[in-house]
Every structure is written in structure tokens, then in C-alpha cells.
């Protein structure tokens, strides 16, 4: 369960980073931020590609930003948009593989640019997540 201070930090960071989105095609910018289980924050923005199949969501960029720093265990993720917006299906599934690291549900915060927010659980938004049993031990023990 996110503490009030963690909600304040994760929402502020997602809102603040949104301005850096590389959204030259759609003009629709997203900011995201993850909170690791050891208390660190990593931000991400959407990056659009000239070729349609290229580009990445802000949530995936934030998760990858954590991975770059050797973090694989996430407590929460936040998406900042004009309206309360939750991660897309692909990002929810991407998040689901990280929930396998420690079998914890992950809190998902949607925040608008005024700071209004809602919190859901990954299990609520993706109740039938795909979990690879064959990789379960490898994911849990990776880099330990």
C-alpha cells in the first residue's frame, strides 16, 4: 500500500517528466514513474517513432529506466496524462512479468495534470495476466 508521501512523490515525478515526451507525431505526451520496492523512483516518457511500429510507451520506458539501474522489483507505477489514464494492455502485461519477481501485486496510479489521482491494482486491471511458469524461477532468482 502506497504511503501518502510515496503518492506525492510518484505523481509529482510523473507529471514533471511528461514535458520531455518525444511525441512529435501525435502531440499526446505521457509521463510515467515507477517506485521500486527499495524506495527509488525512475521516470519515463513516451517516445514516438517515424515508423509506426517503433516507439515506446512512457510506462515501459520508466520500467526500463529502473532495469538500467539494476532494479527489477517494483511497488508502483504512475501514469500522468491530461485525464486519468491507465497503462495500455501491453504495458500491463510488461508490468506483470515484474510482478513475478516477488509475487507482489503492483499499484497503478493514474494522475491528471492537476494532481487528481486514482489507484488500482495490477490484478484489477489485468486479472488474467499471462505468467510464464517455465520462467518463474529464473525471473525470481535473476541477478540474486
Q: For Zn ion, which residue of 57, 78, 95, 109 counts as binding (CB under 5 A)? A: 57
In angstroms, give the least distance from the CB of 130 to Zn ion.
16
Alpha carbon distances (Å) from 85 to 16, 29, 100: 16, 12, 24
- DSSP code of 134? G
Interface with Zn ion, residue 88, by CB under 5 A: yes
Asked whether the beta carbons of 71 and 42 are under 8 A apart, the reply is yes
- One character per residue 19-48, x = contact with Zn ion (rule: CB under 5 A): ------------------------------
In angstroms, give the least distance from the CB of 32 to Zn ion.
9
Sheet holding 107-111, edge to edge: 41-45, 31-36, 74-80, 107-111, 117-121
Interface with Zn ion, residue 7, by CB under 5 A: no
In angstroms, give the least distance from the CB of 61 to Zn ion.
10
Q: For Zn ion, which residue of 56, 63, 91, 109 counts as binding (CB under 5 A)? A: 91
Q: Which stretch binds Zn ion (CB under 5 A): 2-10, 90-98, 103-111, 134-142?
A: 90-98
132 φ, ψ (degrees, to nearest 5): -90, 105
The grid coordinates of residue 121 equal 491494482
Q: How many CB atoms lie within 10 A of CB 2?
A: 17
Contacts with Zn ion by CB under 5 A lie at: 57, 88, 91
Amino acid at each position: 500500500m502506497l504511503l501518502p508521501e510515496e503518492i506525492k512523490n510518484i505523481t509529482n515525478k510523473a507529471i514533471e517528466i511528461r514535458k520531455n515526451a518525444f511525441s512529435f507525431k501525435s502531440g499526446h505526451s505521457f509521463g510515467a514513474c515507477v517506485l521500486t520496492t527499495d524506495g527509488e523512483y525512475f521516470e519515463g516518457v513516451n517516445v514516438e517513432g517515424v515508423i509506426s511500429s517503433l516507439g515506446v510507451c512512457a510506462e515501459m520506458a520508466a520500467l526500463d529506466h529502473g532495469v538500467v539501474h539494476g532494479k527489477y522489483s517494483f511497488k508502483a507505477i504512475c501514469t500522468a496524462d491530461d485525464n486519468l489514464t491507465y497503462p495500455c494492455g501491453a504495458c500491463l502485461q510488461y508490468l506483470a512479468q515484474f510482478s513475478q519477481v516477488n509475487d507482489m501485486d503492483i499499484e497503478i496510479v493514474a494522475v491528471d495534470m492537476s494532481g487528481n489521482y486514482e489507484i488500482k491494482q495490477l490484478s484489477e486491471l489485468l486479472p488474467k495476466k499471462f505468467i510464464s511458469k517455465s520462467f518463474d524461477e529464473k525471473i525470481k532468482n535473476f541477478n540474486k
